[in-house]
Chain A
Amino acid sequence: MTETHRGCPVSHTDYTGYAPIHEHYRLLDEDREKARFQYNDTTDRGYFMLQRYDDVQEGFQHHETWTTAVRSALRPGLGEPLLPQDLNGQQHVKLRRILNQFFAPAAVRRMEPMAQQRCVELIDELKPAGRCDFVKEFAIRYPTDLFLALLGLPVSDGDFFLGWSEEFFNAMLAGDTAVAAAAKKNILEYFDEAVNERRKNPRDPKEDMVSRLVEARIDDEALSQEDILTICLTLMLAGLDTTRSALGYIYTHLAQNPTDRQAILDDPSTIPNAVEEFLRLYPLVFQAGREVQEPTDFNGLELAPGDVVWLGIGQANRDPRKFEDPERFVLGRQGASQHLAFGGGPHRCLGMHLARLELKVVLEEWHQRIPEYRITPGTELTERGGQLTLPTLPLEWEV
């Protein structure tokens, strides 16, 4: 007899460990096909899993009564305050309205020349060696530099900033609070100085995000210094690991599938479509969490206040009910961009357009300079669960 919890089949799958690359997608697919809804009992609070595309999309749109009081079903108690994520309803909308204009496609396009230039500089540094650890030497450095540029800070600060952000992120995931606190202190002091500098010497708030945050008013009140720093920290936490991880999976795919690599070499104008299909196929944030605030009958699943809901992004993106041959990379797939890699509803990823730009620029500039490359023979690739990433990806090429 199937084990159930409040009428729901129970899953014991642990999604937080290390595993061979792509193993988590296999587990996600397996769970999705077992039952429409499941209850997973591997965390303290447990969570109800929404796994099919239509259910996950609808779940994201349930934002009025399912809130981000829980942001991750896997780590419902993650204490780090985040903005704007932690806000809901009108408060959330008001803060997003201030930030949106710096992350809209039009604003992101203005960053493109700088993004290209920085990308080329980093590739030129690496190319002569004929090999690199793509994850450590490129994929994390690039989004870090662009993040600093977004804050109006010198990209050369990436030399030391990267160490802090890596230390903070890793310690936070490992639950090492003392190390995390020390790294966070360095980061916040650095942001604090930058924000104070902008208070003294404001730039055009239409162009400069920090100046805009300083002068912004919500219900006639300025944002506190603490909230501005939290916003900066949130952008850092949201934008660096994810981009690095996306690049890791994309370059693994392209190194292992020369036909797909040749397709973008032959016609680089297909790169935006390739990015969209990669986002669908290899989502890093494979789940989001929500906390139920009111009793809900969700298509027959009875939920009570305090329940944790899992919105199965990775399962939705690979749901055969939505995407034909979902495990295949199909360049130019009709409707690929309906994927939920960036979430949905009002909390959808603020940085999605910047992420798309970064991935596009890297694919364009890298393949112009290093069109042929391979994973160093003998490498066994692994992935981190929770929020997927490849700890290492050694690549080599002829020089």
Chain B
Amino acid sequence: MYITIDADRCMGHGRCYAVAPDLLSDDEEGFVAERGQRWEVPAGQVGPAQDAVDACPEGAIALVENAPADA
């Protein structure tokens, strides 16, 4: 399972790292530090990753089964 965070859509609502603090972190402006990245969700973090997707008011976070083709 891979997580992607769309840097253009992320507006720093800060909901994702509030619900998934072991997966995501904040930068000093309040944006999620991992924005613009995609990476494999570590074992045991799939639940929090889904919570992060469900928490984002901008729809900036997605979970996908496979590694994106251009990753």
Taking beta carbons and an 8 Å cutoff, which residues of A are in contact with B?
57, 61, 97, 100-101, 103-106, 272, 334-335, 337-340, 342, 344-346, 348, 352-353
B36 within 8 A of A: no
Also in contact, A348 and B30, with CB within 8 A (given A337-B57, A338-B55, A339-B57): no
Which residues of B are found within 8 Å of A348, using beta-carbon distances? 11-13
B28-49 interface with A by 8 A CB criterion: 28-30
How near does chain A come to B50, taking the closest CB pair, in angstroms? Answer: 9
Please, what's the 1-or-0 string for B1-14, where 1 marks a CB less than 8 Å from any CB in chain A? Answer: 00000000101111
Q: For B12, give the chain A residue with the smallest CB separation.
A: A100
The answer to whether B15 and A337 touch across the interface, beta carbons within 8 angstroms, is yes
Q: How far is the CA of A352 from the CA of B15 in the complex (A)?
A: 11
Q: Are B54 and A101 in contact (CB under 8 A)?
A: no
> When A61-B9, A100-B12, A348-B11 are in contact, do A106 and B26 touch as well, CB less than 8 Å?
yes
Interface residues as binary, B39-69 with A (CB distance below 8 Å gives 1, 0 otherwise): 0000000000001001111110000000000
- Nearest CB in chain A: distance from B37 CB, A: 19
Q: Once the chains bind, are B29 and A345 in contact (CB under 8 Å)? A: no
Partner of B29, one of A104, A334, A352: A104
Q: Max chain A CB contacts within 10 Å: which of B12, B27, B56, B59?
A: B12
The binding surface of chain A is classed by DSSP as helix
CB distance B57 to A106 under 8 Å?
A: no
Q: Give the docked Cα–Cα distance between A229 and B26 (Å).
A: 30
By CB atoms of chain B within 10 A, which of A57, A97, A106 has the most? Answer: A106
Q: Can you list 16 A-B contacts with CB-CB less than 8 angstroms, sorted by A residue number?
A: A57-B59, A61-B9, A61-B58, A97-B29, A104-B14, A105-B30, A335-B55, A337-B15, A337-B18, A337-B19, A337-B57, A338-B54, A342-B13, A345-B11, A348-B12, A353-B14
Q: Are A104 and B57 interface neighbours, CB within 8 A?
A: no
Question: Which residues in A have their C-beta under 8 angstroms from that of B54?
Answer: 334-335, 338
Q: In the complex, what residues of A have CB within 8 A of residue B19's CB?
A: 337
7 tightest A-B CB contacts, nearest first: A104-B30, A100-B29, A335-B54, A337-B15, A337-B55, A338-B57, A348-B11
Which of B11, B27, B51, B54: most chain A Cβ within 10 A?
Answer: B11
With contacts A337-B15, A348-B11 taken as known, whether A101 is within 8 angstroms of B28 at the C-beta atoms is: yes
Residues on B with C-beta less than 8 A from A272 are 18
Decide if B58 touches A106 in the complex (CB within 8 Å).
no
Residue from A97, A103, A337, A344 within 8 A of B11 (CB atoms): A344
B13 touches A57 (CB 8 A): no
17 more A-B residue pairs beyond the given contacts A345-B58, A348-B12, A348-B13, with a C-beta to C-beta distance below 8 A: A57-B58, A57-B59, A97-B29, A101-B30, A104-B26, A104-B27, A105-B14, A106-B26, A337-B13, A337-B15, A337-B19, A338-B15, A342-B13, A344-B11, A344-B58, A346-B11, A353-B14
